[in-house]
Amino acid sequence: MHKTLIILKPDCMKQKHVGAVIGRFEAAGFRIIGCKLMQLTPALLREHYAHVADKPFYPRLEAFMSSAPVMVMAIAGDYVVETVRAVLGPTDSTKAPKGTIRGDFGTDVTINVVHASDGEESAKVELARFFAPGEIIDPGKTAVLS
């Protein structure tokens, strides 16, 4: 089973696009295996965004990402990492095609709705960064009583 880390960013939370965004992941066939609200700290953001921490845009990114609670999710399914990146669209919302999450709901290159891991290796590292082992539960293994 493939897994990826998703963060619904402060703009997604404030503009109430949470349901729409999760709906797109579910429509693509993926299931939620972990979910919680977090207030991200500068220290955690510096670790998560280490690959851009020395860029000129980093202070604005950190201010944005710590401006409100975010929803951190683990989702699972076949080829979830690359499929979610495609559904999300490119980093710059102004260049993202309509029909993608960033194209439909994003504001600019920083305020872009959702974080998603960019590969299987980074997904593993990022899932471990945001979730303790017991916080990820595969409902696919649980019988549905109805």
Vertex 50: Cα angle to 78 and 36 (nearest 5): 50
Least distance to Mg ion from the beta carbon of 146, Å? 39
Q: Is 83 in the site for ligand UDP (CB under 6 A)?
A: no
CB 25 within 8 A of CB 87: yes
Identified catalytic residue from 2, 17, 48, 115: 115
Among 92, 104, 118, 135, binds Mg ion (CB under 5 A): 118
Q: Is 48 in the site for ligand UDP (CB under 6 A)?
A: no
Among 83, 93, 100, 110, binds ligand UDP (CB under 6 A): 110
Least distance to ligand UDP from the beta carbon of 25, Å? 16
Cα–Cα distance measured from residue 11 to residue 1, given in angstroms and rounded to the nearest whole number: 30
Tokens of 57: 């845009």
Among 62, 82, 104, 118, binds ligand UDP (CB under 6 A): 118
Least distance to Mg ion from the beta carbon of 109, Å? 12
Q: Is 92 in the site for Mg ion (CB under 5 A)?
A: no
Question: Is 115 an active-site residue?
Answer: yes
User: Active-site positions?
Assistant: 115
